[in-house]
Each structure stands twice: as structure tokens, then as C-alpha cells.
């Protein structure tokens, strides 16, 4: 069953990769770039899950999660990060959210590697087609 998803990530390439990884699991997928946008995006789309980056411009992911949970207590947020120190774990626990740790990320990577490879192959194909079209138009006599 597909779930509505909100991806909160400031890096467009990471958003694109996350979208590719979860495309078979979620629809529709909404994206926002910063912590300040989260509450408005959530209210407009009412996703089942929020995948939250930590390092965001302005309002960081932990503060954005706290603000979202204050406004929408039933929100399900998953922090996606490579951080895994004790202070960070305390921050995520105090924000009442689930975090994917680096170890869990490694386990998930094993599961999602085929999806990521398909995405990379599709990107390479699109790029090759773009180069071919570009070189064809440049060679018109």
C-alpha cells in the first residue's frame, strides 16, 4: 500500500535520490527544502510520514520536527542522518522521533541497492541521451 510522504532535504540531489528509493513505496511524494516550510507543507498535504534531514538552512531538522509535532502531535517523523553520537540521540529522543542510525542505514542500503542502481542507470541513460542530442544539434551543417 502506498503512503503519502514528505521529504525534507535541502540538497536537491539527495531529495532526488530519496525520491527514487521510495518511489515504489510512496505516492504522492512532496518535497520541501527547509525547516521553515515543514509545517505549511505538512498542513497542505497531510503525509503519512515525514523523512527529515538534520542539517537544514535556518531551522534545523530537530527544531523543525519539534515545531511540527507541536502543531501536529500525531505526525510520524523519521530522521535520516549519518549522525550517531549520544548528544544527537538525546536530541532525537527529546523531540520524540525515530532516527535511522548509520548501522540501520547500512542495512537499508543492502535492501535498496537495486533501486539506487536503477536510478543511477536511468540518470546515466538520460545524460547520454542529452549528450547525443546536444552533439547532433551542434553538428548540423
pLDDT tens, residue by residue, 4-21: 889 999 988 888 888 887
**Least confidently predicted of 28-37, 58-67, 93-102:** 93-102
State the pLDDT confidence band at 75, using cuts at 50, 70 and 90.
confident
Asked whether 67 and 43 are in contact (CB, 8 A), the reply is no
CA torsion sign, 22 to 26 to 30 to 33?
A: negative
Indicate the helix (H) or strand (E) that contains 61.
helix 61-71
Q: What is the pLDDT of residue 46?
A: 92
| Domains, the chain | 3-110 (3.40.50.2300)
Model confidence, pTM: 0.65
Amino acid at each position: 500500500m502506498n503512503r503519502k510522504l514528505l521529504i525534507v532535504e535541502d540538497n536537491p540531489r539527495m531529495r532526488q535520490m530519496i525520491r527514487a528509493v521510495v518511489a515504489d513505496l510512496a505516492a504522492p511524494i512532496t518535497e520541501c527544502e527547509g525547516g521553515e516550510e515543514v509545517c505549511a507543507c505538512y498542513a497542505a498535504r497531510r503525509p503519512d510520514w515525514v523523512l527529515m534531514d538534520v542539517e537544514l538552512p535556518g531551522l534545523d531538522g530537530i527544531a523543525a520536527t519539534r515545531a511540527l509535532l507541536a502543531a501536529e502531535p500525531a505526525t510520524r517523523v523519521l530522521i535520516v542522518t549519518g549522525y550517531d553520537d549520544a548528544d544527537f540521540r538525546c536530541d532525537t529522543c527529546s523531540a520524540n522521533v525515530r532516527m535511522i542510525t548509520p548501522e540501520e542505514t547500512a542495512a537499508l542500503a543492502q535492501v535498496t541497492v537495486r533501486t539506487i542502481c536503477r536510478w543511477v542507470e536511468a540518470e546515466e541513460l538520460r545524460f547520454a541521451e542529452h549528450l547525443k542530442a546536444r552533439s547532433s544539434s551542434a553538428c548540423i551543417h
